[in-house]
Chains A and B, each alone.
Chain A
């Protein structure tokens, strides 16, 4: 499964949104309805799935689906 699809699955499950809503430009809060509590748990889901640590500062930069993908790529995660 591609990295994009794995991230999409996590977001769909955590935010209860439809897969087609999870586009590269979709904003996690404004478009996908995440509140601050969802964001905390979403970061934990990403940490658990990809076995990495995301600092609060890094987490705050992850506003869109695309930013999550590129962030994980910079951490050396490809799929």
Chain B
């Protein structure tokens, strides 16, 4: 096992609860929801009419008109977040060899909006009218490719595609890259822009989205609550700069937290439903704790996947009990999806960032909307209000359709 340690030295985010780290953290601990009535497309055509939208995002202003036009919204969001994270890290070509900087950015589907727009053109006017930019804009690895161009990052570069675990797999693979010595710095996380006809319509058909709080959007995402009825679809990007510890120390970088361990597993059970008792998730959590050298009693906080669907929240609760044993009774568990919604392939990045900030600031963000625990949901979900606590060790879970489970273990630095 490598003796290299990995720390977080830069953060960037565009999300339903804000377009910079300070604003996002403030809203997360205040429990201020970013979920609103869907405005990007006509909500009336869907059973679920609420969404977490990124507000006041002008890609042409941030990226320039040409770059904005040549990239799908998911890549635009990733580029903007990566620019922020890179600036936050204080790294530059003077302080790091470009060949030692890699980029891994996950997305559940990539350029869905581009796909739909161009498909409509092809049906209407024939395939000869498909834009030459269609393929590069649509493919789900272009965020990683484009961010590398922006930052001149010439190290390992790819995308991870595991639905709602995509960005956590990206971060896990980035940790591996640094531990294996393939890179000293990794720019990583996820991006998703799913507020489109086919994405929302598809999730509605699965009955996966919350359709019972259309008149009260800010209450719709209610993880572990008895009135939960599905997740709230959301867009955004969150990018982290990971760095080998000695490199970060040598240049006096600000360190947000250590990424101490990685666990991953597959349910091998069902395409969308979690394995009974959350056994796959529990195995990922055990693997992450072991990798980080943590015992269950060391874990003070878990940022849960907590989607607000019936099946996830019951099974993840069971998984936490299985992985932590008696320590599950004392661990704080919250789902920040209560305020930012489910950012799908970007959500793991968002939640790992918030977990790192919880460790750094000694504040646990709440499950803001949680009022009454649902059946089978019997942990301390930090309902309503943030809690000050000197937490040392934390886990962040991400689970994706396909049975993909990732758990990232973080330690206060």
Contact = CB atoms under 8 A, between A and B. Distances in A.
Interface in A15-62: 15-16, 33, 36-38, 40-41, 44
B66 A41 contact: no
A10 to B, nearest CB: 14
A17 B66 CA distance: 9
A15 B66 contact: yes
A44 B69 contact: no
Contact of B66 (A16, A36, A40): A16
Give the interface residue-count category, chain A: under 10
Contact of A41 (B64, B65, B133): B133
Contacts of B205: none
Nearest to B132: A40
Given A16-B65, A16-B66, A16-B69, A44 B133 contact: no
A16 B69 CA distance: 9
B136 interface: yes
Contact of B132 (A15, A16, A41): A41
Interface in B126-141: 129, 131-133, 136
Contact of B131 (A16, A33, A36, A41): A41
Nearest to B65: A16
A40 B131 CA distance: 8
Contacts of B69: 16
B61 to A, nearest CB: 13
A16 B66 CA distance: 6
A37 to B, nearest CB: 4
B63 to A, nearest CB: 11
Contacts of A33: 66
A58 to B, nearest CB: 15
A46 to B, nearest CB: 13
A15 B65 CA distance: 9
A22 to B, nearest CB: 15
A36 B64 CA distance: 20
A16 B65 CA distance: 6
B382 to A, nearest CB: 47
B62 to A, nearest CB: 15
Given A16-B64, A44-B131, 9 more contacts: A16-B66, A16-B69, A33-B66, A36-B132, A37-B133, A37-B136, A40-B132, A41-B132, A41-B133
Interface of A: 15-16, 33, 36-38, 40-41, 44
Interface of B: 64-66, 69-70, 129, 131-133, 136
18 contacts: A15-B66, A16-B64, A16-B65, A16-B66, A16-B69, A33-B66, A36-B132, A37-B70, A37-B132, A37-B133, A37-B136, A38-B132, A40-B132, A41-B131, A41-B132, A41-B133, A44-B129, A44-B131
